[in-house]
A = this chain, B = another copy of it.
Amino acid sequence: MTRYERLADDIEAAVRRGVFGAGERILSVRRASEQHGVSIKTVLHAYALLESRGVIESRPQSGYFVRESWRAHGTAARDGAAGKPKARRAGAPKAPAAAPVDVSRLVLSTLRSIGAQDAVPLGSPYPDPALYPWRRINQYANAIARRHASWNLIDDLPPGNPELIRQIARRYAENGTPVDPEEIVVTVGATEAINLSLQAVAKPGDTVAVESPTYYAMLHAIERLGMRAIEVSTHPETGLDLDALERVLRRQKVAACMVMPNFQNPLGFRMPDERKARLVALAEAHDMPLIENDVYQELYFGPTRPTPLKHFDASGIVLHCASFSKSLSASYRIGWAMPGRYRAQVEKLKFLNTLTTPSVPQVALADYLRHDGYDRHLRRLRRFYRQQARLMRAMVQRFFPAGTRTSDPQGGYVLWVELPASVDSMRLYQAALARGITIGPGYMFSMRDDFHHYIRLNYSYPWTAQTEAALKTLGELIAQMT
């Protein structure tokens, strides 16, 4: 038995034991070489052997992955041992005929392609970090670190650092939505705020209404907590169809409704104020908590700032979630919840989930907000994204085949693109990835089959020749598929 055969056997055994799950990336050739103390050539031989055995597959520019088909036999023991039933997408009346897409894995693998292979980040959900005042915020972090000999995390326990909470409340007040600082709970990004809010108001088996298409993190939160999602059709310009929601509410008990009324990801609409007011009234009438994801609130293109649902909430039925990740710093991971009447529950869940949010990032952002040019930075950012939105729309119209339609974002940094109906966005995703380009396939945003020919494009990155070439390539790939 040669060295590479032995290595291949070892790796296959690891896959059988479930050390690497189906669809998961295995060690890169270089790292495997280091770890097993063998040459690069030996690893390449071993991987080729494993490919021929059907254990792994190579994906261009991404690395080697355990084949999806392993789910069916090889690693069944792993999921069984976990005692956890395979998470099924609940309430999916028209599931795509293809194998179900594991959206969170798809998102992670898209992001990894961007990170590790420098793939064109059209598929990224995050803004270009170069646009944000990272250095400036870090200077505050450093100043805080210098001022104190040590730091007691007790001071920043849930609800969070008092000065940051004050700054967040001040900003809402200045923007026309006075809030009680005591309502705010600081979280690790809006992601944690959304998860805790959902857990505070609904329990496993409950039905939760979402927009369709919706931001996939909403679907993930619902799935993870063992709840059922019901998708409510959503207009690309005015948002959630309130008549449709009302029909659902007459038919069945809905434990909560998760919405993104301002610059929804992926559609980019701004829900008109009168519809927001009606949505809150509807929620009150049906005693249905509203979980509002308002992470794009600062990134508006129009002359006026959008109001949150929270603005129309007199009874505390809105759980408002937001963060600084799109407006100041994503890597600081600072978000917050204003959970209305569910505040005590969310605060307690925060304590149980991650104990507390890291201290220095909280205080550094508070100092930045108090002293620095947040509004100036935001004005620049809004102007830039507005220009980029126009540019991306124009370029998509230029390079994509006839029959392509795009959203008209009123804020944020993503464009929603409808391709000719014959195009399958997962096939396009794979083909684009092979050419070093990432996109957000429509499958991510719904459990239904309605958006298989849609994609989401990120336009936060400054326009370059590479972006243009990528859009041109995408256009050609799409043309081939129609």
Contact = CB atoms under 8 A, between A and B. Distances in A.
A353 B83 contact: no
Contacts of A226: 203-204
A294 B343 CA distance: 32
Interface string A106-149: 01100110110000000010100110101100110110011011
Contacts of A132: 150
Given A84-B201, A115-B157, A157-B112, A316 B19 contact: yes
A344 interface: yes
Contact of A156 (B315, B331, B360): B331
| Interface residues of chain A: helix, strand, loop or mixed (majority) | helix
Contacts of A139: 145
Contacts of A180: 19, 35
B154 A115 contact: yes
A257 interface: no
A239 interface: no
Contacts of A256: 83
Nearest to A190: B355
Nearest to A357: B333
A74 B377 CA distance: 46
A90 to B, nearest CB: 15
Select the residue from A142, A200, A315, A317 with max chain B CB neighbours within 10 A.
A142
A141 B137 CA distance: 12
A12 interface: no
Nearest to A142: B142
B354 A354 contact: yes
Contacts of A81: 201, 287, 289, 317, 341
Interface in A204-231: 204, 206, 217, 220-221, 224, 226
Contacts of A383: none
A108 B351 CA distance: 8
B134 A104 contact: no
Given A83-B203, A204-B204, A217-B352, 6 more contacts: A107-B351, A126-B152, A126-B154, A135-B149, A191-B353, A333-B358
19 contacts: A17-B315, A19-B341, A82-B342, A82-B345, A83-B206, A104-B348, A108-B157, A108-B158, A115-B154, A115-B155, A126-B153, A134-B150, A135-B149, A153-B331, A153-B333, A188-B358, A224-B353, A332-B358, A332-B360
